[in-house]
Chains A and B, each alone.
Chain A
Amino acid sequence: MGANQRLRRRTVWLLIIVLAVGFGAVIARLGYLQIIKGEDLQRRAVEQQLSDTTISAKRGTIYDCNGKILAQSASVWRVVLAPAYFQNDDQRHFVASRLAEILSLDEQSVYEDCQEHSYYVSVKRKIESEEKEKILELQNEIEEKYDISNVISLFDDYKRYYPYSTLASSVIGFTGSDDQGLSGIEYQYDEYLTGTPGRIIAAKNAGQTDMPYGFNQNIEAVDGNSIVLTIDETIQSIVEKYMAQGIIDNAVYNRGVCIIMDVNTGEVLAMASVNGFDLNDPFEISAEAKEKINKIDTDYLVKEEIIEDPSKLSQEELNKELATAKSVAESAALAKQWRNKAISDTYYPGSVFKMVTLSMALEEHLVNSESRFNCSGSYQVYESTIHCHNTAGHGTQTYQEALMNSCNPAFIQIGQLIGEEKFWEYYQAFGFADKTGIDLPGESEDQFFDWEGVEGAMGPTDLAVASFGQNFSITPIQMITACAAVCNGGSLVQPHVVKQITDKDGNVVKTISTETKRQVISKSVSDEMRGILEQNAVEGSGKNGYVAGYRIGGKTGTTEKLIDENGDGVKDYIASYCGFAPANDPKVACLVFFDTPTSGSYYGSQVSAPVFASIMGEVLPYLEISAQYTEDELQNVNITAGSYTGMSVEDAERQANLDGFNVTVKGDGNTVLAQNPVTGSSLPMEGTIVLYTDEESSKEKVTVPTFIGYTVYDVNIIASYSDLNISIAGSASSYDATAISQSIAEGTEVSPGTVITVTFSAGSIND
């Protein structure tokens, strides 16, 4: 090969390499960057070009189902420094000292900010309008004094307010310092609530100064979407009021839970973990918890086995240990108060679960009107003996009676009929094996049996105890969802707390509609269960949950906790009640759950059922579910006193009688000068209205007697003798109900006709 030819050939190769490989690679690389990575790089470029000139977007509002505002953002301001504009140190010192004074910051740290060569140093966020005015004055002052502007700027910012402070705190949740949702709805729907921060494009170059050439484009901040909850503020308030009272009455150690759910749609109307916390100040620990933390001392450290022997430690080390223990306790207290027990706690459902067990048996046609279940007070399963709460035994029962007696041996027998396999199948079908998927953060999973590693398989005694709700754990939200399925015709609905998402103008962005997961039991079984549970609420173990005038179905439950959490040496219990109304066409289900009552009574029927009844007694009328009273009940129904003052005694008497009251006249005058109870007060039908006809008589007092321990009938008689009116609360419809408390204490001097609320409870029932 000649030298020229070789050169020629090699050059051609060179050309091919340069053009094909070199330029090819270059074009491929550019194509990759501009087409495939283009969008990402462009986004990052835009972010950088605009990052420091963001306009905060207003976080969306959270409403209850009636449009009441539960959480809202209000305008505040952010103070930003552009220290690069400072010309000398005098100016820095002046601004630092003034800013530190206005914003109550450390002067030295503000001065350090002033020394940075930057056009954007955030000094303080969320200042209120008062401070803002002072900053504006300072701006003018700086401009006059030093002829520099732009050193301090104010940017719009927002602060979160919760008008109802503690209401539904664990559901609504709160936000952090950067307006990011940290818990509850604020966290779960953060993406929707946040909005898109706005930007001023091209107003700034990389040096953060204005650009001389066009390309001005303002992107307005897009405010966050608003969330409309299914929670009803009124119902939530009712729930929290009675739950808080229940906690006081029963000295509940570890808070209580109440959920009210629409059984047909899965909408949660109220969800309370009581006591809650103040959403406006979520990091404030409750006084009670604080007291405990303050009590942490050396003895505590020894008791908790944090230290062995205090004498071996120096004072300094001891103080350090104490401080650590306190901060640990503080974090624990915060975690505890923020915890949404309704979805995060798991517990043994106990006897409440019997409604599920019986539904299984009915659906599988394993029990019928011929079936009988014997209870001798205990039941032998393999090597263990399981006792019934009624140690004398319930005798022979039908399945309806078994549920009303809440008889454990009977349910063990029903459980055996169902068998492990079917039991596990239905357990899953009722949704216990999965999280419900409610739109709130922090939902826990159930803990069911596994036998030799097989999930859902049970050991010899497991099925026996499971059939009355023991030894497996579920969450309250799972229980009420299953209860809804039992009573609503058999469909398992998706529980949810958000109804709608709307944009800032109120246009609907998204509607969360009812989602039925599956049909668990047939409508006929559901119908039958409703009947049995209603009967139970009227005359069975659930009768303390009965609400006069309404058709209630419900079941009590009491479960023993394995750990003595409060360390008082007495077994801890969870008292619960799960019911629904109206029993003929259920609208709402309600679960009441108290964790560790310590006042002596711990049965669901005694602790939770009365609270359930009180809540439903207010919620059902609010939901405009009309009451249908029985004849007996009619007597106890409160009606409103009319105005009789100013009438002649005769007219007043006639009118009061017409209104359904008895009348006692005090004094000798002809005209009614005053009345007790006053106009508009509510008192029972056939209650006593006292009419005063002269000054003298109106000073007359009566002494309140005790009503405790008497039946409704007796209480009424005593009251009428004393010229007092009685308003009946709690379960008064059963024959053996007795008064357990009265609103005005024995021995108090009151005017005749005063209304005293007496709470009744059916005695001697447990579960």
Chain B
Amino acid sequence: MSSYERSSRRESYGRERRSAPRRASDSYDLERRSSSRQVERRRMRFSLLSIGRGLDVPFILLILVLLAVGIIMMFSASYPTAYYQIGDSYYYLKRQLLFAVIGLVIMIVVSYVDYHYYHRFALFILGLSYFALVLVLVLPAQNGVHRWVGIGSFGIQASEISKFAIILFLAHWGSRYYDKMDTFKYGILPAAAVFASTSLLLLLEPHYSCIVIVFILTVVMMFVSGIKLKWLIIGGVVVLGLVLLLWVTGMLTYAMQRLEGWGQALTTTRDDGELWDTTWQTRNSLYAIGSGGVFGLGLGQSRQKYLYLPEPQNDFIFAIVCEELGLIGAVVILIIFALLVWRGIVISLRARDRFGKLLGIGLVTHIGLQVILNILVITDWLPNTGISLPFFSYGGSSLMMLLFEMGIVLSISRSSVMEKS
């Protein structure tokens, strides 16, 4: 394995396809062809759990643990709301369980699909993402924002598709033109274009937090794809300059005010009227977290979930986790998340080819990012803009999407060269 890893890309392809010409210019064509035509690998046969061909057992175990803990906590957090607002304490639990089962099936099925298959769909899915983003804008708004596309009772956030689409596209692009990633034309331009267009559409929804996630994911994908570091530095300087400009012109203060009481949750008083209401959720999240202390109030013992914290089963579920399980419980869960990220990265790095590596890194980073940003939101370090917590937050489509993505990582793990148990 080590020799495989050490050998250059060109050599490896050379070894696989012995008849291929050895000229440098031809090797690009080779990568391109291999990605588009899915030579050989599609015919690979996987078997469950075997080294070299099986699933990565630690990764799937971490997923199952998080899913189990997530559903229990989602139930605990949601039952008062479900009781008061719907009249059925088990309403959210029943649905989440159903989606979890469907999601797990999807995950296993997807893990059998050779991920190189997605090379073909990268552009199609990107197109689908744009279509969905435009579609939501024409559909009627819910709660003042255009985020959901749906058929009947089943809906999905357009941004969920977008995030996946961008990861997939950048992985596809980065593996195809891996040797040109240090150029502006290949390394920067496409990614920047995709990001700019997507974020423009997200801006119209509006869905700011998703722009932040898309931005970070884009930068991460570009970074690992091998763009020149100077572009990152230039990008950083440009962003910094932009922020500075906004600050000097007073636009930043205005924007901060628009961010509905960000960081003011605890200093606001009832007399502040609207601000008190807009910071209500964050404030009650902080109350919940603080109430938990080190050891927590005990499973099911949260008080804040009794209508004080609105929608405790959604984005702010981790506040209830902190209240019931305390700092210790929260840290244990975060460690499991960290292990998942770590294992996901290990799997990705040992993937057989660049596409697998980039795709895996993108998907796993997305989860880590989502966890970090979610908790920074509920602790009032970031404005309250709707970032859900993977495996925990209620939501059928996003859970299935998540498990679908995990299926892809598992699929990558089947072909990665590593010990899997």
Q: Which residues from chain A sit less than 8 Å from chain B, CB to CB?
A: 2-4, 6-8, 10-11, 14-15, 18-19, 22-23, 25-27, 29-31, 33-35, 37-42, 44-46, 48-49, 202, 205-207, 211-213, 215
Contact = CB atoms under 8 A, between A and B. Distances in A.
Interface stretch (B93-101, B143-151, B251-259, B325-333): B325-333
B291 A41 contact: yes
A41 B286 contact: yes
A11 B372 CA distance: 18
Contact of A30 (B5, B9, B178, B379): B379
A257 B188 CA distance: 89
30 contacts: A3-B179, A3-B354, A7-B357, A8-B5, A11-B357, A15-B345, A25-B381, A26-B371, A27-B334, A30-B331, A34-B289, A35-B293, A35-B327, A38-B291, A38-B293, A41-B289, A42-B287, A42-B293, A45-B284, A45-B288, A45-B291, A45-B304, A48-B284, A48-B287, A49-B308, A202-B303, A205-B80, A205-B84, A205-B306, A211-B306
A543 to B, nearest CB: 65
Nearest to B310: A206
Given A49-B306, A205-B84, 6 more contacts: A3-B8, A11-B348, A18-B369, A30-B327, A44-B290, A205-B307
A49 B342 CA distance: 40
B361 interface: yes
A49 B381 CA distance: 24
A18 B365 CA distance: 8
A44 B304 CA distance: 11
Contact of B290 (A2, A22, A41): A41
Nearest to B280: A206
A200 to B, nearest CB: 13
A26 B334 contact: yes
B109 interface: no
B1 to A, nearest CB: 13
A19 B365 CA distance: 10
Contacts of A48: 284, 287, 308
B341 A18 contact: yes
B303 A49 contact: yes
B191 interface: no
Given A14-B361, A22-B368, A212-B83, A3 B287 contact: no
Instruction: Report the 10 A-B pairs with minimum CB-CB distance, sorted nearest first.
Output: A41-B290, A45-B287, A206-B307, A205-B306, A22-B372, A34-B327, A206-B308, A42-B291, A26-B375, A18-B368
A40 B290 contact: yes
B417 interface: no
B372 A18 contact: yes
B338 A19 contact: yes
B363 interface: no
Contacts of A26: 334, 371-372, 375-376, 379
B352 to A, nearest CB: 12
A30 B322 contact: yes
Contact of B224 (A14, A46, A207, A211): A14
A661 to B, nearest CB: 78
A35 B286 CA distance: 12
A10 B223 contact: yes
A295 to B, nearest CB: 43
Nearest to A30: B330
Interface in B68-95: 80, 83-84
Contacts of B84: 205, 207
A34 B294 contact: yes
A33 B226 contact: no
Given A25-B376, A48-B308, A215 B327 contact: no
Contacts of A18: 341, 365, 368-369, 372
Contacts of B372: 18, 22-23, 25-26
B292 interface: yes
Contacts of B306: 49, 202, 205-206, 211
B379 A29 contact: yes
A472 to B, nearest CB: 48
A116 to B, nearest CB: 14
Instruction: Determine which residue in B84, B181, B303 has the highest number of CB atoms from chain A within 10 A of its CB, and name it.
Output: B303
Contacts of A45: 284, 287-288, 290-291, 303-304, 308
A380 to B, nearest CB: 68
Contact of A19 (B293, B342, B354): B342
A566 to B, nearest CB: 46
B376 A29 contact: yes
A37 B291 CA distance: 9
B268 interface: no
A30 B375 contact: yes
Given A14-B224, A35-B293, A206-B307, A41 B379 contact: no
B369 A34 contact: no
B342 A15 contact: yes
A213 B306 CA distance: 10
B349 interface: yes
B385 interface: no
B157 interface: no
Nearest to A7: B224
Interface in B185-243: 220, 223-226
Given A15-B342, A41-B286, A41-B289, A29 B5 contact: no
A6 B223 CA distance: 10
Interface in B346-401: 348-349, 354, 357-358, 361, 365, 368-369, 371-372, 375-376, 379, 381
B344 to A, nearest CB: 10
A404 B91 CA distance: 97
B38 interface: no
B301 interface: yes
Nearest to B374: A26
Instruction: Determine which residue in A26, A35, A38, A44 has the highest number of CB atoms from chain B within 10 A of its CB, and name it.
Output: A26
Nearest to A209: B84
Interface string B1-12: 000010011000
A212 B8 CA distance: 66
Given A19-B338, A30-B327, A3 B226 contact: yes
A570 to B, nearest CB: 54
